[in-house]
Amino acid sequence: MSTTTPTAPAEPERKAPAAKRTKVRPGDRIFSGAARGAGISLLAIMAAIAIFLVVKATDALSKNQGSFLTDQGWDPNTAKPAFGVVTLVFGTVVSATIAMLIAVPVAVGVALFITHYAPRRIAQTLGYIIDLLAAVPSVVYGLWGYIFLAPKLLGLHSWLSDYLGWIPVFDKEQAGVTARTLFTVGIVLAIMILPIIAAVTREVFLQVPRAHEEAALALGATRWEMIRVAVLPYGKPGIISASMLGLGRAVGETIAVAMVLSPSFDLSIHILDPGNTTIAANIANQFGESNEIGRGALIASGLVLFIMTLLVNGAARVVINRRKAFSGANS
């Protein structure tokens, strides 16, 4: 893995001071070795994560009497363990989708408001508050979502099912006793990932060169047109990667979901009914009461979650790279 030496020829894009091709001092060798060792240890950790998860997951999967990919139930702690991830993946995808649908447009709006609408004097303070909110621990959001928000959303649940019930997703089959539903989870997740998406997007919008904005304004663009012509296209890769960062958080969020959702293993598209569960929340809920195989099964589901986050990040990278040709080469 590490065949390169510290004195290897610099690639053109590297701007680090070029190392002279002279004899390497012992101090330099030790120091650069330590630095490289740290980098390698980071790779080793990642490799170990993948390997250990796979090994422990295969242990449990080999004992699985059901089909891991298609079974809807989760009974790994019995004499005949049978478990599948369909329900878990479904719940994870649905709650994250709801969260993204709400959070991304609002976060972009917040970032635009702070960078282009708010008076300059308070803009910095507003940005700072958003940064602080991004640091509020998820367990606090969970507590708030469970105790404060969920009861308040009961009305919205019945309203949506009354008026939009003809759309299957909004059809509510159970009488409304609790709002600890996938829909509420989606809203809580949206609130949680909003600050991080807004914070990253704001940074990107601040980097839009003043020259591009002035070019648009000098053409007689209104403020919104200037944003549409100069700010949004320039910021698009940044918006996408910020969204993916948020999506990654939403998909992997454990404790808030575990606290807010009233889980069940009945796969249901009715997001206004209690039920469904997510991969991460299921791990938190089941771990304590699981035996060896059960924990292996949870690790297997964790591996699926890991792969999902890898796909999300990979997708973001592809989108960003594809737009490189049109990125600000002269800025």
Partner 1 sequence: MKATTTRTADRGTDIRTDPEAGMTKRIEVSGLNAYYGSHKAVEDISMTMEPRSVTAFIGPSGCGKSTFIRTLNRMHELIPGASVDGSVALDGQDLYGSEIDPVAVRRTVGMVFQRPNPFPTMSIYDNVAAGLKLAGIKRKGDLDAIVERSLRGANLWTEVKDRLNKPGAGLSGGQQQRLCIARAIAVEPQVLLMDEPCSALDPISTLAIEDLIALLKERYTIVIVTHNMQQAARVSDKTAFFNLAGPGQPGRLVEIGDTETIFSAPTEESTADYIAGRFG
Partner 2 sequence: MTVLDTGDKRPGIGTDAVEVGRAGLADPRAASLTRRTLPRQVPWAIAGGGVLLTIVFKLTLDNWALAVFLAGVIFIGVLSAVSWRFEDARRARDRFATSLISTAFVLAVLPLVSVLGYTIQRGYGKLSPYFLSHSMRGVGARDDTGGIYHAIIGTLEQVGLAALIAVPIGLLTAIYLVEYGRGRLAKTVTFFVDVMTGLPSIVAGLFIYAFWIMMLGFQASGFAGSLALMILMLPTVVRSAEEMLKLVPNELREASLALGIPKWRTVLKVVLPTAFGGIVTGVMLSIARVIGETAPLLLLVGLTQSINTDPFSGWQSALPLYVFDQNHAGNQFAEDRAWAAALTLIVIVMILNLAARLIARWKAPKAGR
Q: Which one, 81 or 238, has the nearer CB to partner 1?
A: 238
Q: How far is CA 154 from CA 170, 266, 278, 295, 318, in A?
A: 13, 21, 21, 35, 40
Does 255 interact with partner 1 (rule: CB under 8 A)? no
- Residue numbers 154-213 binding partner 1 by CB under 8 A: 209, 211-212
In the DSSP assignment, the letter for residue 74 is E
Q: Of 148 and 326, which CB lies nearer to partner 1 in the complex structure?
A: 326
132/211 with CB nearer partner 2: 132
Identify the residue among 100, 230, 251, 305 touching partner 1 (CB under 8 A): 230
Least Cβ distance, residue 82 to partner 2 (angstroms) = 21
**Side chain identity, residue 55:** V
**Exposed, middle or buried: residue 212 (CB in 10 Å: 0-12, 13-18, 19+)?**
middle
Least separation in angstroms between residue 198's CB and partner 2 is: 7
Task: Report the run of H or E that residue 166 belongs to, with start and end.
Answer: none
- Interacting partner of 86 out of partner 1, partner 2, none (Cβ under 5 to 8 A depending on kind): none
Taking the C-alpha atoms of 30, 35, 36 and 37 in order, what is their torsion angle to the nearest 10 degrees?
Answer: 80
Nearer to partner 1, 152 or 323 (CB): 323
Which residue type, as a one-letter code, is found at position 107?
A: A
331 lines the binding site for partner 1 (CB under 8 A) = yes
Residue 61 has a CB neighbour count (10 Å cut-off) of 18
Name the segment binding partner 1 (CB under 8 A); options: 70-78, 110-118, 233-241, 297-305. Answer: 233-241
For 58, 134, 181, the CA distances from 308, given in Å and listed in that order, are 18, 23, 22
Residues 297 and 62: their CA atoms lie apart, in Å, by 10
Residue nearer to partner 2 on the CB measure, 80 or 317: 317
Is 149 one of the binding residues for partner 1 (CB under 8 A)?
A: no
| Between 269 and 317, CB nearer to partner 2 | 317
The residue within the footprint of partner 1, chosen from 1, 27, 120, 177 (CB under 8 A), is 120
- Cα–Cα distances in angstroms (integers) from residue 280 to residues 170, 179, 266, 303, in the given order: 24, 20, 17, 11
**CB of 35 vs partner 1, minimal distance in Å:** 35
Minimum separation from the CB atom of position 239 to partner 1 (A): 12
Task: Tell me which residues touch partner 1 (CB under 8 A).
Answer: 120, 209, 211-212, 214-222, 225, 229-230, 233-234, 236, 323, 325-331
